[in-house]
Amino acid sequence: MDTNEFITKEESIWKKNKLRAGRICVGATINSLAATSAFVVIALMLYELTGKLNVPYSTLSVAYTFAYAGMMLASFFGGKIITRNGRLGPVISTSAALFGLLSLTYTNSVWLVYVAALVYGFGQVLTFFYMNIAIISWYGVGQSTVLGVAQATTTVGAAVVTPVVASLLESSGYTKAGIVLTAIIVVTMCVSTLLLCGDMPSKYGMSPVDLESKKDKKAAASKYEVYQAAMPSGRALRTPVFFGVALLGFCISVGTNVYNSNQYPMLTSFGIDMMTAAKLVSLGLICNAAGSIIIGWLTARLGLRTGFLIPAISLVVVFFLGFTIGGIPGAILIACSDLFFTYSKLRQGIIFNSLFGNKVSPDLIAWDSIAVCIASMFAGPLAALISEKSGSYQLVGYIATAIFAVCVLLLLYLTSDKTREHIKEIDAPYKEKEQA
């Protein structure tokens, strides 16, 4: 075989690899988009169900506890499911979305709402696992940018869906709207699962692809360092760094779910109607999409520390100002704080991969998600209860602000050079064995 023939063959393999990576990650993103849209639909349906079932919102907000309990259950083995059989994750998610949405459409029981939330939560977390694991497995240099774009696409879809759902519920009635929305979401997930989704590169004998050119690789690598740990995931799980990332996940989940689980009653408490609240939620989701791209870009160009500290500090400031100012300006600020919520979504994929590499990260993401789910189970209902007892969401907002401040302190520790060096010290014996 001459040199030219070899180069041609190498280029062909690279192109095939890149096309497969793109196809699978697009499928993963579409599934995540549909799952996020379903979550938006469920949030609006719960708000409408207070009248249908004649119960206060705090009672129905317990559905989020069950949803996150389902997510926590799936987190114990979600990473292994995805790495062993990638397509199985979207299949389970699709089935769970179908059951959850149809149950909420026809329910006359609060307990059926809870069961539907449990099943849906179980399936939804696998969708996010699949997207994160697929992207960090299929992409090397430039993966933070891909994660940012994927999250942005997911959120833009939800932003479009929000006012549509609110309008459909108002014009067509609860049951008809539920049927239409269920059909659209489930069909989308079925098509993407069958035609686009697939396994991780090792199953095809392939390796991750890079987005940037060789010229850009050096510049990116100097700012966004990825350390490939040789230690097994069991050892990584026992490091202080993992517990730090998990604690960060716990805290940011408490803060974000105070808002996400109560966004419609919280925004209407600022003196606006439900349709205006839906528009603000949509605006917030657009801000969130922009934040995904911005944070992904910042991380790739300026490094992990700068890329995450800027949105984390901004979130503290905006949340404090929103609840202090109050009224319509305050509601707009709180809705637009979604711009900075994004770092909570990108946290797992980017931080774990940067500190431990893509071999260990899938298992770490799965176990870290348990902390996230525990926080999410109770944050929303507790916030709703506090607001009912205090007569407003202002106290809740200040508590969330304090929690976001703690997240800043945790990020200062996790993104420090000392933390990275600590991981390398722990990993040194395993590196020696690997190289021997």
pLDDT tens digits for range 372-381: 777 777 787 8
All domains of the chain in start order, with CATH: 16-435 (1.20.1250.20)
Return the pLDDT at 11. 58
**Region for 199 from its dihedrals, namely left if φ exceeds 0, alpha if ψ lies in -120 to 50, beta otherwise:** beta
Return the pLDDT at 72. 79
The DSSP element (H or E) to which 389 belongs, if any, is helix 361-390
Question: HSE-up of 423 (CA within 13 Å, CB side)?
Answer: 29
pTM for this predicted structure: 0.65
Read off the pLDDT of each residue in 32-39 and give the average, rounded to a whole number.
78
Q: For residue 106, what are its two tokens?
A: 């026809």
Q: Quick one: 312 exposed, middle or buried, by C-beta within 10 A (0-12, 13-18, 19+)? A: buried
> Which has more pLDDT, 298 or 319?
319
> Which has more pLDDT, 88 or 238?
238
Give the separation between CA 400 and CA 255, rounded to whole angstroms.
5
Please spell the DSSP secondary structure of 279-320, one letter per residue. HHHHHHHHHHHHHHHHHHHHHHHH-HHHHHHHHHHHHHHHHH
- Name every residue whose Cβ is closer than 8 Å to that of residue 223 and which is 6 or more positions away in sequence: 300, 301, 302, 303
**SS3 for 258?**
helix
316-418-246 Cα angle (round to 5) = 50
R_g (Cα) of the chain, nearest Å:
22
Q: Quick one: 417 exposed, middle or buried, by C-beta within 10 A (0-12, 13-18, 19+)? A: exposed
Q: For residue 281, what are its two tokens?
A: 């939620």
19-143-433 Cα angle (round to 5) = 105
Read off the pLDDT of each residue in 280-304 and give the average, rounded to a whole number.
78
Return the pLDDT at 140. 73
Q: What is the mean pLDDT of the chain?
A: 78
Which residue is associated with the tokens 């206060």?
56
In this predicted structure, which of 71-75, 170-174, 312-316 has the lowest mean pLDDT?
Answer: 170-174
- Name every residue whose Cβ is closer than 8 Å to that of residue 46 and which is 6 or more positions away in sequence: 57, 60, 61, 63, 104, 113
Q: Which of 48-57, 162-171, 269-278, 311-320 has the highest mean pLDDT?
A: 311-320
CB 280 within 8 A of CB 143: no
Give the separation between CA 74 and CA 130, rounded to whole angstroms.
12
Question: HSE-up of 201 (CA within 13 Å, CB side)?
Answer: 24
Read off the pLDDT of each residue in 385-391 and give the average, rounded to a whole number.
84
Q: Which of 321-335, 348-362, 376-390, 422-436 has the highest mean pLDDT?
A: 321-335
Give the length of the chain.
436
Say if residue 390's pLDDT is above 80.
yes
Give the separation between CA 358 and CA 349, rounded to whole angstroms.
9
Read off the pLDDT of each residue in 72-79 and give the average, rounded to a whole number.
73
Single-letter amino acid code for the residue at 120: Y
